[in-house]
Amino acid sequence: MNMPDPQAFAASWMTQFADPTLWQGWTSLPQAMPGMAPPAGGANPLAGILKDFGVGIAPAKLEAIRDDYLKKAGALWQDFISGKPAEFHDKRFSAAEWRDNPMSAFSAASYLLNSEFMLALADAVDAAPRERQKIRFTVQQVVDAMSPANFFATNPEAQKKLIETKGESLAKGLSNMLADIQKGRISQTDESAFVVGENVGTSSGQVVFENELFQLIQYTPATPTVKAVPLVMIPPCINKFYILDLQPENSLVRYVVEQGNTVFMVSWRNPDRTLGNTTWDDYVETGAIKAIEVVREITGQDKTHVFGFCVGGTIAATALAVLAARGQQPAASLSLLTTLLDFSDTGVLEVFVDEAQVAHREQSLAKGGLMPGRDLATTFSALRPNDLVWNYVQQNYLKGKEPPAFDLLYWNADSTNLPGPMFCWYLRNTYLENKLREPGALTVAGVPVDLGKIDAPVFLYGSKEDHIVPWEAAFASMALLNPKNAKANRYVLGASGHIAGVINPAAKNKRSHWVNDKGGKQRPKTAAAWMAGATEQKGSWWPEWAKFLAQNGGADVPAPSAAGNDKYQPTEAAPGRYVKARAD
C-alpha cells in the first residue's frame, strides 16, 4: 500500500469531514440530535476513503464498533434531553464555560464520543502495523482539528471573552493571526522577551575554532581544578545548541562546568544556500571528528569525553566508529542522550518515513538544496497538535491573548535548515533502511562503520514519555556499543519527554529517574528486563551523569587559565554568531 504524505492525507480528510452530519457514520439516530444526524443514503463516511487506499475493516469489527457507538450516543442524547449534565474529562474543555452551558457541554461530549468512534475505526483497519499507525496518526490529526474548542462559533470561552472585552479580544486575535501569517508560524511564546547571548545561551566562554560547518566554544571553568579529560558536546544539528544552555538555573552546560569539567560545545551553522550540497559525511568528518581533534590539541589530552544529544548522538557515534576503523580510539567515554542508533522503533516519526516519501525528498533535495527549518518545525508540531498548534489557535486568535515568555518554546521556534543531501542520506540509511546498526553496512568518510568497534564506556539516557526517541529504542544501543566491556556501560531513564526530560535541573529536585545497576550475568538484555529490575530515584538524572564523567575523567588538574592555545586563539565570546543566524 502506498500511503500519501500524512499532512496531505489529513487535508483531504478535513475536506470530506467538514460536514458534521458525516460524523455519525451509518447509524439511524434521531434527526433531532444536533450535529449527529445520519448522512444521506446511510453510507459509512470512512468506506470510500479506506477503499481508495486499499484497506477495509472486517464486518465483525465494524458491527461491534457501530453497536458500541450507538449505545453511547443514545445514552448521551437521553442525558441531554433529560437535563443531566454531560460527563467528560479532557483538559481542552476543563473551563467552567463548557459545563455551565448545556449546549456547549453536549457539543464537547458528542465531539469526544465521535473522536472515540473515528479512532476505533482507524484501529480496526485491516492493514500492516506500520500502515495502520499512519492511518491512525492521520485520523488523530483530523479529530484534533475538528474540536469545537478550535472554532469561535462553538467555543464558549472565546464568546465570553468577546462580551467581556466588548469585542477587543476578537480584534486582538485577528491582529495576532495576521502577524503570525507574516512570520509563517504560530507564536508559542513572547519572542521579544529573549535574545540569544543576553538571557538565553549565556554561559561564559569563547569561540576557539570555526569552519564552514560549526563553531567550537570553550566554556570558562568554574572550579580551581578540573578533571584532566575534557568534554566535547555535540548537539543535534536539527535545532540550536542552546537548549543545553537556556538560562543559568536550567543550563546543563553550566552544571557540568560547575562539576569540574573543561567543556567544549559544537555550535552548528544554520545552513544557507552555500551549504546546500553538504553531506552526512561532512557532518561526521568536518564536524564531529574535527571538533574532537581540536579539543585534544587544545587540552593536550589523548582522550576526551564525547557527548551527543538526539541526532547529535547519531553523528557522534558514527564519528567514533569512523575513527575506530582508522585505528583511533579518542573517546574516554561516550554519552548519548535520547539517541537512536538502532532505528527499529522510531516512534511517531515513523508515519513520515516510507519509500515513497523518502524518494520524493531525494528527487528534490539529494543533489542539493535545503530542507527548510519551518517544514521541520511544522512536522514536530504535528506530533503534538493539541499542545503545539490548537492550544495557541484558541488562546492567541480566538481569545486574543498574548503568549507568555517561555525560554524552551522560544528555542523551539528558533528552527534550523538542513542541507538536502545530508537530510536525504539520514532518512534513507537510518530511518528507512536501518543500516547503522549493521557492522559494515554503511561506508562513511571512506571507511566501513561498525559501532561495536568503539572502545569506550557508554552512558545512555532515555526519557520515559519520549514520542520522538522511545526510551526502549534508546536502550537498544546497549547491545551495539562497547561489547567487550559491556559491564562499564550504564543506562538511566528519566521522567517526562524528549526535551523536558533532558532539561531537568538537579537543583530543582523535580521529577524522577530510574536506575538499574545489576551487572555480570544478571545484566538485563532487554528494555523490559531492565525496567523490571529498575528502581525509581527522586530528582534529576544529572548527578548520575556527573558521577559517570568523574569516574572516567582522570586526575584533577589545574583549570585552564585561558581559552584555546597558541594555534587556536579565541575569536569571539560565546555563544558566537553561528547560533544567532535564523532560518527564516
Q: Which residues are catalytic?
A: 310
Distance CA 93, CA 394 (A): 12
User: For residue 502, what is the DSSP state?
Assistant: T
**Helix (DSSP H) and strand (DSSP E) numbers for the chain:** 21, 17
Distance CA 37, CA 23 (A): 8
Burial class (CB in 10 A: 0-12, 13-18, 19+), 59: exposed
Dihedral sign for Cα atoms in the order 251, 257, 261, 265: positive
Cα-to-chain-centroid distance, residue 10: 21
Question: C-alpha angle 308/312/318, rounded to 5°?
Answer: 85
Distance CA 490, CA 67 (A): 50
Q: Which residues contact residue 569 at a Cβ distance below 8 angstroms, ignoring those fewer than 6 apart?
A: 208
User: For residue 515, what is the DSSP state?
Assistant: E
User: For residue 371, what is the DSSP state?
Assistant: E
Distance CA 269, CA 581 (A): 8
Q: Which residues contact residue 277 at a Cβ distance below 8 angstroms, ignoring those fewer than 6 apart?
A: 367, 368, 419, 420, 421
Burial class (CB in 10 A: 0-12, 13-18, 19+), 527: buried
Distance CA 358, CA 242 (A): 30
Distance CA 72, CA 187 (A): 38
Characterize 126-142 residue by residue with b for buried, 16 or more Cβ atoms within 10 angstroms of its Cβ, and e for exposed. Answer: ebeeebbbbbbbbbbbb
Distance CA 367, CA 521 (A): 49
Contact status, residue 116 vs residue 73, Cβ threshold 8 Å: no
Q: Which residues contact residue 141 at a Cβ distance below 8 angstroms, ignoring those fewer than 6 apart?
A: 6, 7, 10, 13, 382, 385
State the first-to-last Cα distance of the chain, in angstroms, to the nearest integer: 36
Distance CA 458, CA 474 (A): 12
Contact status, residue 517 vs residue 547, Cβ threshold 8 Å: no
Question: What are the φ/ψ torsions at residue 16 (nearest 5 degrees)?
Answer: -75, -25
C-alpha cell at 527: 528494555
DSSP E strands: which ranges in 270-372? 304-309, 331-337, 370-371
C-alpha cell at 114: 465521535
Distance CA 255, CA 506 (A): 8
